Amino acid sequence: MGAYLVDIVAVGFFALEWLVYSITLEHTAYGRTGLSARMNAFREVWVRRMLDRDARMVDMQIMASLQNGTAFFASTSLLAIGGALALLRATNDALAVLGALPIDIAPSPALWEIKCVGLILIFIYAFFKFAWSYRLFNYVAILFGAMPPASERDTAEAQAHVMRTTRLFESAGAHFNRGQRAFFFALGYLGWFISPWVLFITTAAVVIVTWRRQFASNAWKAMDAKP
C-alpha cells in the first residue's frame, strides 16, 4: 500500500478536482456566470422567437446539426473505449516500451491494468452522456414540431410549451457538456500513465484550461457584450 500511496492521492486529487469543478459550474451562483449558463439563456430566446414564426425549417436544420455533433462525439467515445481496451490487452508490450526508456516509469502490470480500466470507465461515462444528450435532442426536435402556431403564441399552452421545450433543451446541453468535460479530463488522466506526479500537473492544467474557456475566454467576453 505504501508503494502506491502517491498514486492513490493523485487519483483522489483527479476525482476531487473533476467533482468540484462540475459542482461549481452547474450548481453555484458563480457557475451561472459561465459561458454555458449564458448560452442557456439564449436557448429560451431561440424557442420564444421560434414561437413568433410559422416557418420553422431553419430551426429544424440547426437542431439537426446539434444532433449530428452529439452523434459524432458518441461514436468517438466508442472508438476511445475500443482503443483503451486494446491498450489493456497490450499490457506486456506497453510495459516493455516503458522499460526501454532511459527513465524508470514502468509501473507494475497490475497498476497498468488499473490505469487502463480507469480510462475505459471515463470513456464509458462520456458515451452514456453523449448518447443520452442525443436522445434528448431528439425529444427537443419533437417538441419543436409540436410548437403551437404563431397565431396562438399568447396562449397559456404556448407559453407552457416554450418553458418545457427550453428546460429539455437545457438538459440536453448539460449532458453534452458533461460528456465533453469527461473527454477533457481523460486527457488529464493520461498523465497518470507517465507518473502520479504528472497526473497532478495535467489535472490542474485541464481545470485551468476549461475554467478559462468558461469564465475568461473571448467567447465568454463576447456573450457579455453590451449593445
Q: What is the pTM of this model?
A: 0.89
> By C-alpha distance, which of 123, 122, 115, 120 is closest to 193?
115
Q: How far apart are CA 50 and CA 60, in angstroms?
A: 10
Most confident of 36-40, 58-62, 99-103, 181-185: 181-185
| 84 lies in some domain | yes
- Structure-model confidence comparison of residues 222 and 206, the more confident one: 206
**SS3 label, residue 146:** coil
| 30 lies in some domain | no
- Structure-model confidence comparison of residues 147 and 226, the more confident one: 147
| 75 lies in some domain | yes
Whether the Cβ atoms of residue 174 and residue 26 lie closer than 8 Å to each other: yes
State the CB neighbour count (10 A cutoff) for residue 196: 20
Give mean pLDDT, residues 119-142.
95
pLDDT band of residue 171 (cuts 50, 70, 90) is very high
pLDDT band of residue 41 (cuts 50, 70, 90) is confident
| 140 lies in some domain | yes
- φ/ψ of 200, rounded to 5, equals -55, -45
pLDDT band of residue 104 (cuts 50, 70, 90) is low
Rounded to an integer, what is the distance from CA 93 to the centroid of its chain?
Answer: 32
The amino acid at 58: V
| 221 lies in some domain | no
| 88 lies in some domain | yes
Q: How far apart are CA 49 and CA 223, in angstroms?
A: 19
Q: How many domains does the chain have?
A: 1
Q: What angle do CA 72, 51, 68 make, to 5 degrees?
A: 5
Whether the Cβ atoms of residue 219 and residue 213 lie closer than 8 Å to each other: yes
pLDDT at 227 over 70: no
| 223 lies in some domain | no
Full residue range of the structural domain in which residue 206 is found: 2-24+35-214
| 143 lies in some domain | yes
